[in-house]
């Protein structure tokens, strides 16, 4: 039982007999190739994930630029696409290396013990991240008994730590497997997949999954997005709806003819209240901006409404004021949204009244919604009732 395993960890990348793990795919080179591909996809996920986290939890020591307006659309599209691409790669990688989990002696030294212990957070973390990510993208929150962004975020740190340990421990093996002249691939006992064919198949599956979903954010590919839960062009007023007015319990409050927007707060020297008619009478500004949902879909739309900075000026807010926008919606995590000074001053930061040339409908946030550049969709609060100047 030991000989095929020893072949894996020792010098030659061949399996000398048809022992307990006969497949020639349990070898270092395919493992290293798949690992390298995963290194790329996980790095993309990690960096774009940190950016998304920073936008949603502003760090305080720095402000995040509202430009380029579509940046978050690109980074979050990449985040979800790279995560989806990783799924077949992880499965293939686990298949190539799983005999190593049975290696004996289980622990050879302290360093070996550390390296092997790091496999637990590595494998569990990777599977957890991909599973929770897919669950979130698929809008199927039921199986998650915790707040998704927090769980996903902390698991990412643990997993990245485990990856660093793993790559460090395997550096020599990886270098040899990738760059040294390798033995010729052994003939398969039966008609089996070659290593090259196996890695190619994993890459092809990965590419196919991406193509089947990336149209949720890359408009021209939308027809191919058979596996994406959203199509960017399908929804009322030509835009998907994330949470409808009825689900949010705001139908009555939002359609109340007595609706008024109030601009108030410590920073507002001259707080005021505007009816919908008065809001419509203010100077209107038009901007083309995307909704870029953390769940990976995004779509661009034409918005028209009142600039946040015009409201601040009217309220006598000091330059550099920060703002909290509040929704009529009650009891939701996403009922308020912060704008730092730069975001609030941006000429395209709007309280929008119209979408693609029509008055906003209830599901898109009637009477008024926030739309501003380079922000996650969750921060584009709908059914706005209050602008609080901080
Ligand atoms: N009040 C409120 N605003 C909200 C939400 C919400 O649940 N409640 N969902 C947000 C999310 S997650 C997204 S992606 C966008 C989607 O906007 P849309 O439904 O108009 O496309 O609205 C955001 N605004
Ligand atoms: Mo969203």
The 10s digit of each residue's pLDDT in 217-257 is 999 999 998 999 899 999 999 999 999 999 999 999 999 99
Mean pLDDT value across residues 343-351: 97
Tell which atom from ligand 1 comes closest to the C-alpha of 239.
21
pLDDT above 50 (res 7):
no
Q: Is 291 in the pocket of ligand 1 (CB under 6 A)?
A: yes
pLDDT above 80 (res 14):
no
Lowest mean per-residue pLDDT among 107-116, 170-179, 180-189, 352-361 = 180-189
pLDDT at position 314, please? 97
pLDDT at position 63, please? 81
Nearest to 267 by CA among 225, 301, 312, 226: 312
pLDDT at position 188, please? 59
Lowest mean per-residue pLDDT among 25-34, 156-165, 177-186 = 177-186
Average pLDDT of the residues of the chain: 91
pLDDT at position 338, please? 95
Residue nearest to atom 18 of ligand 1 (CA): 241
pLDDT above 70 (res 189):
no
pLDDT above 60 (res 208):
yes
pLDDT at position 40, please? 98
pLDDT at position 101, please? 84
Mean pLDDT value across residues 13-23: 52
pLDDT at position 134, please? 95
Q: Let me know: does 305 contact 356? Beta carbons within 8 Å.
A: no
Structure tokens at 74: 């690109």
pLDDT at position 277, please? 97
Q: Let me know: does 220 contact 231? Beta carbons within 8 Å.
A: no
pLDDT at position 191, please? 60
Residue nearest to atom 4 of ligand 1 (CA): 381
pLDDT above 80 (res 183):
no
pLDDT at position 21, please? 76
- In the reported structure, the alpha carbon of residue 215 is separated from the centroid of ligand 2 by a whole-number distance in angstroms of 16
Nearest to 314 by CA among 347, 348, 284, 269: 269
| Confidence label for 139 from pLDDT (cuts 50, 70 and 90) | confident
pLDDT at position 178, please? 92
What CA–CA distance (Å, rounded) separates 12 from 9?
8
pLDDT above 90 (res 143):
no
Q: On the CB side of 258, how many CA atoms lie within 13 Å of its CA?
A: 2
Q: Let me know: does 230 contact 277? Beta carbons within 8 Å.
A: no
Per-residue buried b or exposed e for 182-208, using 16+ beta carbons within 10 Å of the residue's own CB: beeebeeeeeeeebeebbeebbebbee
pLDDT above 80 (res 176):
yes
Lowest mean per-residue pLDDT among 102-111, 171-180, 202-211 = 102-111
Query: pLDDT > 90: what percent of the chain?
Result: 78
Q: Is 361 in the pocket of ligand 1 (CB under 6 A)?
A: no
pLDDT at position 22, please? 73
Q: Is 89 in the pocket of ligand 1 (CB under 6 A)?
A: no
What CA–CA distance (Å, rounded) separates 78 from 50?
13
Q: Let me know: does 151 contact 110? Beta carbons within 8 Å.
A: no
Note the pLDDT tens digit of each residue in 249-287. Answer: 999 999 999 999 999 999 999 999 999 999 999 999 999
pLDDT at position 11, please? 37
Give, as residue ranges, everything with CB less than 5 Å from ion ligand 2. 242, 293, 377-378
What CA–CA distance (Å, rounded) separates 291 from 308?
18
Determine the distance from the C-alpha atom of residue 384 to the mean position of all C-alpha atoms in its chain, rounded to a whole number.
Answer: 26
Determine the distance from the C-alpha atom of residue 285 to the mean position of all C-alpha atoms in its chain, rounded to a whole number.
Answer: 30
pLDDT above 80 (res 203):
yes
Q: Is 216 in the pocket of ligand 1 (CB under 6 A)?
A: no
Helix (H) or strand (E) holding 280: helix 276-281
């Amino acid at each position: 039982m030991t000989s095929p395993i020893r072949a894996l960890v020792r010098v030659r990348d061949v399996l000398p007999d048809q022992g307990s793990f006969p497949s020639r795919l349990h070898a270092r080179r395919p493992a290293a190739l798949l690992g390298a591909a995963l290194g790329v996809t996980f790095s993309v996920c990690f960096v774009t994930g940190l950016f998304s986290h920073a936008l949603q939890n502003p760090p305080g020591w720095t402000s995040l630029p509202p430009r380029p307006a579509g940046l978050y659309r690109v980074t979050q599209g990449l985040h979800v696409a790279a995560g989806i691409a990783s799924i077949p790669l992880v499965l293939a990688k686990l298949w190539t290396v799983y005999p190593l989990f049975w290696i004996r002696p289980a622990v050879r030294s302290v360093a070996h013990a550390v390296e092997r212990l790091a496999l637990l957070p590595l494998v569990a973390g990777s599977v957890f991240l991909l599973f929770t990510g897919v669950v979130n993208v698929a809008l199927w929150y039921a199986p998650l008994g915790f707040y998704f962004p927090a769980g996903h975020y902390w698991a990412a740190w643990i997993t990245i730590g485990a990856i660093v340990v793993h790559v460090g421990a395997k550096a020599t093996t990886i270098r040899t497997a990738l760059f040294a002249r390798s033995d010729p691939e052994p003939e398969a006992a039966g008609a089996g997949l070659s290593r090259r064919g196996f890695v190619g198949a994993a890459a092809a599956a990965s590419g196919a999954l991406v193509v089947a979903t990336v149209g949720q954010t890359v408009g021209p590919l939308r027809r191919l997005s058979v596996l994406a839960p959203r199509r960017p062009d399908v929804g009322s007023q030509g835009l998907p709806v994330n949470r409808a007015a009825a689900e949010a319990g705001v139908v009555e409050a939002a359609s109340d003819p007595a609706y008024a927007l109030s601009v108030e707060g410590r920073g507002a020297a001259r707080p005021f209240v505007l009816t919908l008619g008065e809001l419509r009478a203010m100077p209107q500004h038009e901007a083309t901006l995307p909704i870029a949902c953390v769940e990976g879909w995004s779509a661009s739309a034409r918005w028209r409404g009142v600039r946040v900075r015009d409201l601040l000026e009217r309220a006598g807010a000091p330059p550099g004021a920060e703002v909290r926008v509040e929704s009529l919606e009650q009891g939701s995590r996403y009922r308020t949204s912060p704008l730092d000074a730069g975001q609030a001053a941006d000429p395209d930061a709007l309280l929008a009244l119209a979408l693609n040339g029509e008055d906003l409908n209830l599901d898109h946030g009637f009477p008024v919604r926030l739309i501003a550049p380079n922000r996650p969709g969750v921060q584009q609060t709908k059914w706005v009732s209050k602008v609080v100047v901080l």
